[in-house]
Amino acid sequence: MTCSRVLLTLAVAFAALTFQTNAQENVGHDRPLKCVYFIPSDCAPNPDRAERLFRVMTCVQNFYRQEMERNGFGATTFGLEEDKPGKLKLYEVYAPGKQEDYGRDSAWAVRDVVAKELAKQGIDVGNEVIVIFQLGLRWEGKKAIEVGPFVGSGAVSHGTAWFYDDPMLDPDKLSSKEPGGYYNGACSVGEFNSHYIGGIAHELGHALTLPHDCELSTERSQLGNALMGSGNHTFGNNLRGEGKGAFLTYSEALRLSVVPAINGEEPVRRANDVKLIDLKGSRVSKDVVRFSGKIEAKSPVLGLIFYEDLDSRNSDYDAKTWTVKPNEDGSFGIELTEVAPEPSELRVCAVRDVDTVQLFKVSYNPNGSEGEFGPIEYEFQIQKVAAAFSARDPKVLRALAAEELASSEELRSLCEELASIVEVPEKLATPANVDSSVSSFDLTNAAFIVQKVGWSRLTRHAFFDGSLLSTGNRAYSSGLCAHAPSELSCDLGKKWKTLRFGYGLEKGGSGSVVFVVRGDGKELFRSELITDHELHNETVDVSNVQTLELVVEDGGNGNTSDHSIWIKPTLLR
């Protein structure tokens, strides 16, 4: 038996959760995962990998099946390929580099090697969910050192998760209390497997489109920890009598229900045809708020998910979730319980029949004070402006300025500026070539010699997802979004005197960055470590500078959520 049977009982309509491995109905066989074994040049594959990893993936497979069923979506889960019964089909990839060449930040380098090898077998990783077992855990005596990446990322049509393999990795050992494991310190063999098999389930969740979220206290007492919160560290704890283990929240299961690797359907790409057209908040009690609103949708909407993500943790692991199914006319009402009275980000997502799309996000402080929902109203207006700008519709922008947003000078001006950008788009130009009669030049429209960003792509006037550039609780029409670590350089030709700019983290970013300006390799400005969401302003002398560099460093702790933006970076004669 791969894992022991465990029974958790909820007072309200929760079914049994087990770790059994014999249930086989409704598995997503039509789109099974592709399991890869990645072998650096200085490593040897573990001899029992196919049988042992079959037990690992079957344990995770059944966890998903049982949790989907408990949440009311039937016994659905992802599919697996077998070479023969009891042996996982592994696509073995012998890498050109050594183990040390594939460090913690090498996920995409590993994937590139895998993609090239699988392409030779007719497999396009852009159309599959790929899981990569790496020999990325190095033992030094009784201490295990994590060398390679252990992450996950995905869209509806495809995804990738990066794991470790180790001879100790085996769900048959989840119940073991014997010493010999290691995870941030010595632990039992069972705890080692909880962390790493739980980590496999968690990172696979990311590959299947799931974001982080956590459980409500009422769920924690009955079910344990949400898989996409800290459940990756408690997975299987119940087998050793050390806690409740892990579970899928309803919001996680709802999102998974439309993922092709789970439901077996073909991926469907469809433009976002769901709009949030009304949203109002009200206070119910000390820790309960109510939201009511309405959506317009051409696609079937299975439910709305509200995420309440506290700013204090500086990550989204603590995001609590609540779900509601809209009425036939699109109206809805939902109460959010256990809401903490501190700065948070509210996100609203719609689960369509084919995917999940984000409709709204806003930072606000549900502290019970008068006007606590004011930022939501402001952001709702800003998102209308962003939608019109994204659609490149100057008529709607000017109508908003003249009518709905006429009472706000800030929003009216923003609409007019964006309408002008759409009507007369600026052509990219090299600052050195700008006519000397022009006294100022906005680097938002600069042609860069070097253009490197740490994630996604460089965007101008807007964030990569179409939202407006925002920091300091205000949106701007002009600026650059260059996710750290980034480098932008352009030719000034020694023809400009001053650079004036604003800088900061995009309001939804939770990272830490440092902004740097260099002229001909000499550092002219270096900011303090930026972790807030305020607008910072600076003026730098660029006299006699030939090559200007705008650099953003990741702050020394990786570049997760380092959504760095330069606001109105302007050259002056």
Q: How far is it, in rounded angstroms, from Cα 353 to Cα 260? A: 11
Under 8 Å between Cβ of 533 and 363: yes
pLDDT for res 508: 58
List Cα–Cα distances, 513 to 311, 362, 522, in angstroms: 17, 21, 20
Check residue 375 and give its pLDDT: 86
pLDDT tens for each residue of the chain, 573 residues long: 333 333 233 332 333 333 333 334 555 567 899 999 999 999 999 999 999 999 999 999 999 999 999 999 999 999 999 999 999 999 999 999 999 999 999 999 999 999 999 999 999 999 999 999 999 999 999 999 999 999 999 999 999 999 999 999 999 999 999 999 999 999 999 999 999 999 999 999 999 999 999 999 999 999 999 999 999 999 999 999 999 999 999 999 999 999 999 999 999 999 889 999 889 999 999 999 999 999 999 999 999 999 999 987 667 889 999 999 999 999 999 999 999 999 998 999 999 999 999 998 888 999 999 989 988 888 888 888 998 998 899 999 999 999 888 888 999 999 999 999 999 888 999 999 999 999 999 999 999 999 999 988 899 999 877 888 988 778 999 999 999 999 999 999 999 999 999 999 987 556 899 999 999 999 999 999 998 888 999 999 999 999 999 999 998 887 888 889 999 999 999
- 8 Å CB contact between 329 and 323: no
| Residue 267 DSSP class | P
* Bond preceding residue 485 cis, omega within 30 of 0: yes
- Cβ-based burial of 198 (10 A; exposed 0-12, middle 13-18, buried ≥19): buried
Give the model's pLDDT for residue 257: 97
Cα–Cα distance, 46 to 59 (Å, whole number) = 20
How does strand 34-39 pair with strand 90-94?
parallel
pTM, entire model: 0.77
Tally of CB atoms within 10 A around 24:
12
Q: What span, in angstroms and rounded, lies between the C-alpha atoms of 427 and 433?
A: 13
Residue 1, pLDDT score: 34
Helix and strand element counts for the chain (H, E): 9, 35
User: What element of type H or E holds 78?
Assistant: strand 77-78
The pLDDT, as a whole number, for residue 3 is 38
pLDDT of residue 28: 52
Domains and CATH numbers, the chain: 27-263 (3.40.390), 274-366 (2.60.40.10), 373-425 (no CATH), 431-572 (2.60.120.1060)
In 3-state terms, what secondary structure has residue 563?
coil
Return d(Cα 385, Cα 361) in angstroms, integer: 14
Q: Which two tokens stand for residue 394?
A: 């100057």
Confidence at residue 510, expressed as pLDDT on a 0 to 100 scale: 66
